[in-house]
Chains A and B, each alone.
Chain A
Amino acid sequence: DSGVTQTPKHLITATGQRVTLRCSPRSGDLSVYWYQQSLDQGLQFLIQYYNGEERAKGNILERFSAQQFPDLHSELNLSSLELGDSALYFCASSQAGEYEQYFGPGTRLTVT
């Protein structure tokens, strides 16, 4: 158990819909990262937040957005969903100044 929690574990929704994925980092970790894992693209970095502020952006679509709240949990919002958005979405957290990241169990999103 990494100490990072993600909900829900599974999500099935239809094209065009909007969903919210939630992540709680390890106690004391200020950085939260979101990654997408798909068969064709592999593991891709989406976005990072540090202590409530956006710090880095990767291959995140404009239809996707995220935020980190004062209690340090984070939410990833995916809108106007397409079939190709079906993937595993992982959240990871790390301490300030540390390189290693600890991953949650992931949310499997299926868009039908």
Chain B
Amino acid sequence: GDSVTQMEGPVTLSEEAFLTINCTYTATGYPSLFWYVQYPGEGLQLLLKATKADDKGSNKGFEATYRKETTSFHLEKGSVQVSDSAVYFCALSDYGGSQGNLIFGKGTKLSVKP
């Protein structure tokens, strides 16, 4: 079945460091890909998305490119801030229309130190 694998954390970085969180997927169709972020004590927020190969999603300085050839959707940010400390989830949705439950990776906890 469909699955998402993301790098295990926790990841600890200093402020202004470069961030990469790896995500690879397995899907039978042509999934849409997402990154969600969960701040402490809160629900999941959609960070960015890409719906087809070579699409680049971007938001708040974060970017991820849908790479069909490597089945990857790695999350990057050039300069992290303390406020970026959260858990990041990679997810896919393999159906369109009125169906489309999300399949999540296990999450990567990011801590950014001042």
Name A's B-contacting residues (CB within 8 A).
Answer: 2, 4, 30-31, 33, 35, 42-43, 45, 48, 50, 55-56, 58, 90, 92, 94, 96-97, 99-106
Contacts and interface: CB of A to CB of B under 8 A. Distances in A.
Interface in B79-114: 89, 93, 96-107
B103 A31 contact: no
B43 A43 contact: no
Given A42-B104, A43-B104, A99-B51, A105 B42 contact: yes
Interface of B: 32, 34, 36, 42-46, 49, 51, 89, 93, 96-107
Nearest to A35: B102
Contacts, number: 65
Contact of B98 (A58, A97, A106): A97
28 contacts: A2-B43, A2-B45, A33-B102, A35-B102, A42-B107, A43-B104, A43-B107, A45-B102, A45-B103, A50-B98, A55-B98, A58-B101, A90-B43, A92-B44, A94-B100, A96-B97, A96-B98, A99-B32, A99-B34, A99-B96, A99-B100, A100-B32, A101-B46, A101-B93, A103-B36, A103-B44, A103-B45, A103-B46
